[in-house]
Amino acid sequence: MVGKIKKKILITGIQGMLGQDLSQVFDLDYEVYGIDINPAGDGKSRFFSSDITDRKALELLFSQIKPAMVIHGAAFTNVDLAETEPEQARAVNVLGTENIAFLSNKYNAKLIFISTDYVFDGNKTTPYLETDIPNPISYYGRSKLEAEQCISKYLTEYIIVRTSWLFGINGKNFVKAIINKARNDGALKVVNDQIGSPTYTLNLAQGLFWLIKAVFETEPEMSKYGIYHLTNSGQCSWFEFAQAILEITQIKASLDPVDSNFIARAAKRPKFSVLDKSRFEKITGKKLCVWKQGLEQYLLQEKNQAV
Ligand X SMILES: NC(=O)c1ccc[n+]([C@@H]2O[C@H](COP(=O)([O-])OP(=O)(O)OC[C@H]3O[C@@H](n4cnc5c(N)ncnc54)[C@H](OP(=O)(O)O)[C@@H]3O)[C@@H](O)[C@H]2O)c1
* Chain contacts with ligand X (rule: CB under 6 A): 13, 15-19, 35-38, 51-53, 73-77, 92, 96, 114, 116, 144, 163-166, 171
Q: Are strands 195-196 and 236-237 parallel, antiparallel or unpaired?
A: antiparallel
Name the residue number minimizing CB distance to ligand X: 16
Closer CB to ligand X, residue 150 or residue 253? Answer: 150
Q: Which is nearer to ligand X, 6 or 289 (CB)?
A: 289
Is 33 noted as a catalytic residue in this protein? no
| Catalytic position from the list 30, 140, 158, 298 | 140
Shortest approach of ligand X to residue 131 CB, angstroms?
A: 19
The β-bridge partners of 141 are: none
Q: Which is nearer to ligand X, 102 or 253 (CB)?
A: 102
CB of 2 to ligand X, least distance (A): 36
Task: Give the burial string for 124-150 (b: 16+ CB within 10 Å, else e).
Answer: eeebbebebebebbbbbbbbbbbbbeb
Judge contact between 60 and 37, C-beta under 8 A.
Answer: no
Euclidean distance between CA atoms 112 and 211, whole angstroms = 10
Distances (CA, A) of 95 to 14, 35, 117, 154, 217: 19, 16, 20, 13, 29
Which CB, 37 or 289, lies closer to ligand X?
37
Residues 6+ apart with CB under 8 A from 248: 295, 296, 299
Q: Could you tell me the smallest distance in angstroms from the CB atom of residue 141 to ligand X?
A: 10
**What span, in angstroms and rounded, lies between the C-alpha atoms of 8 and 290?**
31
Q: Give, for 10, the enclosing helix (H) or strand (E).
A: strand 7-12
Distance of closest approach, residue 51 Cβ to ligand X, in angstroms: 4
Positions marked active-site? 140
